[in-house]
Chains A and B, each alone.
Chain A
Amino acid sequence: MSLRLSMARFALVSSVVVLNAGVWSSVSAQDSGAWQGVWIADGLTPDISGFPPPGSRWYKLLDPQAPWNEEGRKRFEAMMRSGSDRKANGWGFPMMMDGAAPFEILVTPHKTLVINIYRDVRHIYTDGRAHPADDERWPTTWGDSVGRWDGDTLVVDTVSVRNPPLYFFSAPPLSEQAHYIERLRKNGPDRIDSVMTIEDPVTLAKPWVLNLTYVRAEGTDRLLNDDYANDRSEVEAGLFTIVPPKR
């Protein structure tokens, strides 16, 4: 290898290291490894039925006392009244941030990923970018998220969340104009506190502020994904039932 080629390679590597250092330093200062592990919304750990046991708290995102305006209240009551039934492919956003599904938070220099056991994935870009222009994004199940580090707090800005959601059988009946801000902060080794503020000109009379807490999911140190290989529920006469096993 020529000296000129070696120097060129060194220069290129050095410039990449320098460029990355600025981004990484803000993340490493937060001890990104401390965010590792499996988390779950406090108070929603399921029992063997797969649902939080009797006595568990209710989902904060399904709060009838949220500051719904007339349209929001009408939508919420319609959701609670509905007697139909449906399946879900996961939790979607925002339900995955206050649900019974364990999740991981992977902090990297340029983005943070939130992934749960139902394979819901949020991509939170922390490289300084803004949301795409209006004509380059559209409502999706998880929305479009960008973030930044404010000291030891990860601030996440999410827009373009699909509603009504297709991924879960209950979700706050917000509109697709809803704007979500989360401030997540590690509070000790086994706790993350988050303040989620939702503004929605269509369904909310004022900003809806939710205090969420995540704790270590007990009994596991890994996220266990599996496909839906054994779905035995089918609808009969408008209600799900369990179909016999395949033999």
Chain B
Amino acid sequence: MTTNRTRLARASGLLFVPFAALAHHSPSMFDGSKQMTLTGTVREFQWSNPHSYIQLVVKGADGTEQEWSLEMGANAYLYNLGWRPSTVKPGDTLTVKVDPLRNGTRGGLVIEAVTADGKTLGRRP
């Protein structure tokens, strides 16, 4: 399915190279066709702009811990969806659906976040 995100990703270039160190960006860096689910422990929740981040520690298939950098919308967007700076805390167990980074490093765009007791954290207002 061609989503708004993927269409925006395709239309993200125009005539420029990245020009600003501090700015928001298009979703072209994420691969929406390879959505994956991760369960892990929160190391840090960054309530910030232009994007918020969850640092999630996930056990790999070999039992080793791997830290993922998971991007979310700006804090203003999360606020409107019911999130607050205290919504996610270090030590929380989370299961997240993410669109992974295209370059293969451990990172992605959070599409859904579910707590250990099965509660989906505000996706829509």
Residues of A in contact with B (beta carbons under 8 Å apart): 45-59, 62, 78-80, 82-89, 102, 117-118, 164, 166, 169-171, 173, 217-220, 224-233, 235-237, 239-245
Contacts and interface: CB of A to CB of B under 8 A. Distances in A.
Interface in B106-125: 107, 109-113, 121-125
7 contacts: A48-B73, A49-B109, A80-B10, A86-B14, A86-B16, A230-B52, A232-B69
A243 B106 CA distance: 10
A26 to B, nearest CB: 33
Contact of B49 (A52, A55, A229, A237): A229
B12 A164 contact: no
Interface in B23-53: 23-29, 44, 46, 48-53
Nearest to B20: A87
Nearest to A44: B4
Given A47-B124, A52-B4, A218-B125, 19 more contacts: A48-B123, A49-B110, A50-B74, A53-B123, A53-B124, A78-B14, A85-B18, A86-B17, A86-B25, A88-B24, A166-B19, A225-B76, A227-B49, A230-B49, A230-B52, A235-B18, A240-B28, A242-B71, A242-B101
Centre residue among A48, A173, A228, A244 by max chain B CB count within 10 A:
A48
Contact of B29 (A51, A80, A102, A233): A233
Interface of B: 1, 3-5, 7-8, 10-29, 44, 46, 48-53, 55, 69, 71-83, 99, 101-103, 105, 107, 109-113, 121-125
Contact of A54 (B5, B18, B49, B53): B5
Contacts of A45: 80, 124-125
A217 B25 contact: no
Contacts of B18: 85-87, 235, 240
Nearest to A118: B24
Interface of A, helix, strand, loop or mixed by DSSP: loop
A86 B12 contact: yes
A232 B51 contact: yes
Contacts of B46: 230, 245
B80 A220 contact: yes
B48 A56 contact: no
A139 to B, nearest CB: 15
A228 B81 contact: no
Contacts of A80: 10-11
Return the 7 tightest CB-CB contacts between A and B, nearest first: A50-B73, A82-B13, A218-B125, A230-B48, A87-B23, A219-B80, A228-B22
B26 A85 contact: yes
Given A166-B19, A230-B46, A236 B103 contact: yes
A34 to B, nearest CB: 21
Contacts of B25: 85-88, 169, 233, 240
A49 B29 contact: no
B84 to A, nearest CB: 11
A68 B44 CA distance: 48
Given A83-B13, A230-B51, A230-B53, A48 B1 contact: no
Contact of B21 (A85, A169, A231): A231
Contacts of B113: 48
Contacts of B51: 50, 230-233
Given A217-B80, A229-B48, A236-B103, A84 B13 contact: yes
Nearest to A216: B125
B76 A102 contact: yes
